[in-house]
Structure 1
Amino acid sequence: TLESFVNSIVDENYEFEAPLSNREISLGYENFFIPSFNDPEEVYFDPVVTFFTQAADNDYFFDKASFKLTFKDGIELNDLSDGEFQILFLYALVDLFDSEDSLFLLDEVDSHLHYKNIENLWDALHSIQGHALTTTHLLDSITAPQNGFEHLKIVDRGIIKEDRKAETIINRLSSLSRMRSVQFDVCSKLENIVLMDDYNDWTIFLALAQRKGLNIALLSNLQVIKQESSCGGPNEKLGKAKFEWIKSLLSSEAEKRVKNIFIICDKDEAAIEFKINDGVSVAGQESRDSVNSLRAGNGGIGMFFLAWKRREIKTYLLSYTALSNNGLIDHVNNDEIPARSYLKENDSADNDAIRALDVKNYITTMIDTDGVGLDKSKLEAYVSEIPISEISEDISNMYNFMVGKL
């Protein structure tokens, strides 16, 4: 190896019979790989790396103090900015140690980088044979097109959390001046989006679906985004704010990976007709026009306009058994609704009187904690008291519809 280097680069006539005089040599892309660096006894590292590492281990062969590194157009190492030096170091690190067994642990490796070099950074990290974990606070890295949503991890008190990840990312970026566009940059990475009036609505739905014996793991690829339905009366268009949000998302400049968007609205005061075949899709010409306006030019994305038959998701927490156990049954079974519509044991109460009830005041006391809001442990404890027979078929219908579209 040494003989090949000397004869190829230093002096082709050197016979190794006398000391080699100190001299200056130039290594460039034209001659760097001319020598043979292979050593049958060295199997741990790349032979080129091994040779130069050992040669520069002391000043016997290479005089390190005399090294001069020159790049294209005569640029020297001292001419580089901190960011340029940083990404050059990263490239060298990858070249030296990348293999299928490599794991690179990098702390804010994107700091000090120009936005163009941030793109180069992620191109490099996504092309390695091994694996890389790196922390970041930079928006350019979070929204980089190379980084899919599956690549983003939220660290909270030393624990990686996947639960409600989209909500957490958006909340952490909420202080930015261009929050609206940032939200679309993040949401463009999502394949399956669910628009609901509140993040907690999804938590309640999952609790009821699981209690009903449905496999909620099949919904794990859905990411919920909070967006109100904006329907305060019969004359207001149901889901107007949700449709406007989708239009803004689809018109944003970010590269989109969206496959399906499920628009789930609270019924509130709206007069809604439902498709008979699934029980959750909003029917009527107006709803078809709204969906078709979104599909124009976005034919590859599934758009599904859905709603609850009841006033809101909390209305599905009404249960004769659970409310009786907690001394609250009189809040429902009273003179304000017909006796034939009362909650009954082992009955799902899918009737119009129950659907229209505003239950927030007394249901919230069962599942919320002051200063916290929805308390998941309280919710789970309450839902466990609801017999499966007292859970509305609407929960199964919504679950089956979404699973069937994934």
Structure 2
Amino acid sequence: MHGEEREERRCDVVIAPDVRLPSTSRLLILSDLHIADLGPGDLFAGRDEVFLAMLARETADIDAVVLNGDVLDHLHVADNARIERAHPRTVAALRELSQRLPVIMLIGNHDNEALARQAFPEMAFHHALAVGDVLITHGHQFDLHWNGDKQSHFAARFHAALEHYLRLPIRLPFRDYVNIPNGVIHRLFFRYTQALRLYGSVKRAVGDPAPYERWQRIDRFWSRGQWGDLGNIYDEALVYLESTGARWRTLVVGHSHQPGVVPRHSGHTYVNSGSWCLGDASFVRLRDGEARVFDALSGEEYGDERYRALHAAVELPDMAGWFRRYYRGFFRYDLAAIERDFPSDIPERGFTGVRGKARPAGDKPGDEQHGRQHQLAG
């Protein structure tokens, strides 16, 4: 699986903007706050002060704010009162913001539109926004592994409960979330998928290819997720974006929590606003049709750093290949080898295992790099 090679295929996603703004609009775009009740699923816990400071700084000279999905995490807590008790100042600030500026909320897969309307009656609710030739939508439409059914909801709740119980992130990519439980679960999950592969191979030999194809989907999900394409949404979004020709020059999404701006040879640009989860805090400034992504704590700017491995002139390993390269037995991993193969020039993030720097934002005070120190869990 090579980074630049994508088989010729089509994306069946159809996105029709239900609201439009002038191409000259100055916007602040935020996504994936996941504000809940401080229990399992509250990935925003501990970010209130940073968020409030960012709002005060970034809303002084703009035309509107776009909340691009997964704001109040109603998938985990379908109760506005509980969420507000946990984060009273943040909820109040969002209400006050919607009274002095236009605020557009684009519905994500963790949002309940009816409950969101009750919480924020002054906001406008839509699913996709066009700003000139910039298209903004949450991005779950491109996730090959989220279909919104009961199984997807159960998996999301179970994952949140597991992280809450362990008080450590259990997620991809491993290079960003290095801790002992995550390493153990990675290895156990690999063993499980190898059993799926064996079972699928047997079934395919007797004329039933479905189990083997299921294993292939799981393996692709995991291996691409290790290098920044969580849910395969980046790959799917590129197919969609480049199939639109000149209609959309830039696509701004969230959902995968992987901040970055990726210019393409086709002239299109993929933008991901990142998240406010597990120590992260990122946002998008849109000015004159140009989207830039910043870290709210350091002021540093994200480029394509988190996506370079997906376009590298090296073969990306599948799941078995990843473990052959980087697993050293007894739930130990060769982090130096991961860093050497896929250097990560990004602002330091919470729970990060591979650390680097991004270029400073040109319009922020000072030129120094503001590295944030985090204790490496495990």
Q: Is TM more than 0.5 here?
A: no
Q: Scaled by the length of structure 2, what TM-score is found?
A: 0.25
Please identify the structure whose Cα radius of gyration is greater: 1
Q: Scaled by the length of structure 1, what TM-score is found?
A: 0.23
**Greater percentage in helix:** 1
